[in-house]
Amino acid sequence: MPNSSSAPSFARIYDDLRVVLTVQRCGSMTSAASEIGTTTSTVSRQIARLRDTLGIYPFVKSEGEWRLNPALSDLVATFEQADGMLESELARLQEYQPTTRRDVKIGAPPTVLSHILAPGMRDFVSKNAGIRPVLDSRIHESGLGSTDISVVFHPPESGRVRVKRCGVLHFSIFAPEGWREGDGWVSLGERIAGPYIEARRHFFTSDPTVLVDSFPQAVRMMRELGLAGALPVILAADTPEFRPLGPRDLDIRRDLYVIHHESRSTDPDIRATVDWVSAQLVEAKIRTRALQDTQQRLCGSMY
């Protein structure tokens, strides 16, 4: 470390540690730059600056991936804890400024945002005037990234993160009315649907007719081209012209976890938002179960 006469400001170290923490959470400098809203080169420069300050490189390569240098684990964990506590204390002080609204960033898969959280947003905002929800679409991430709260399929295996399993996302095969075997099907790409594509190829006896990168695109292709496809049950409920195609052994069930950093557990805004997100997920699970019962009856009447 530099001597006291040349020591860098704590503000600069704080800023650089925030970047390192985001890289650790996101898994890459590119993803971290996107989360922060800057460029990869800027992230790289800040990491290099912290290396010069501390005398060690913040990341080391292990098994082909860049990981946090173990020598910095305690420092980064301490920073993360302090950062969360600071956010919580600032939230508490905002109680004295009733007209001030505070951003709470919520990350979740797109379908969760649009079909589980959005329907309850009016009620949440009316009851929590001091909170401004900021929704962030996330698909593969298992950690928090730059979010305050995230809904994930896989919770992080390490770190001081509070995890609550309270929701499920169900997927089934649907097709437009009049679809016949051989009419084709649409799928998300290998990056997202990879583990499930082979079983669907076997069912449809063909490769996908069209590949897309989101469920709204899949719905559009199903409507425009008359294709079948796998959709979240809660999303398919908005499209009454689609019918469940089966078979049930191709249905997928993905657990949903709500996560936030433990240092934010006393933050009143985080607590209120976590409780609301959890309640929306539980309500959606009940609603999906009712939809599946209806679909099962429809399937029975088709055969």
Q: Quote the pLDDT of residue 6.
A: 58
Q: What distance, in Å, lies between the first and last C-alpha atoms of the chain?
A: 74
Q: Quote the pLDDT of residue 256.
A: 95
The pLDDT tens digits for 201-224 are 999 999 999 999 999 999 999 999
**CB-based burial label for 49 (10 Å; 0-12, 13-18, 19+):** middle
Q: Quote the pLDDT of residue 298.
A: 56
Q: Quote the pLDDT of residue 303.
A: 46
Catalogue all structural domains in the chain, each as residue range(s) with its CATH number: 10-77 (1.10.10.10), 86-159+255-289 (3.40.190.10), 169-254+298-302 (3.40.190.290)
Q: Which residues of the chain have pLDDT under 70?
A: 1-8, 64-65, 95-99, 292-303
Tokens representing 104 are 């709470």
Q: Quote the pLDDT of residue 215.
A: 93
Tokens representing 65 are 């991936």
Q: Quote the pLDDT of residue 98.
A: 66
Token pair 């009143």 in the structure block, residue: 268
CA distance 265 to 250: 39
Q: Quote the pLDDT of residue 297.
A: 60
Q: Quote the pLDDT of residue 80.
A: 84
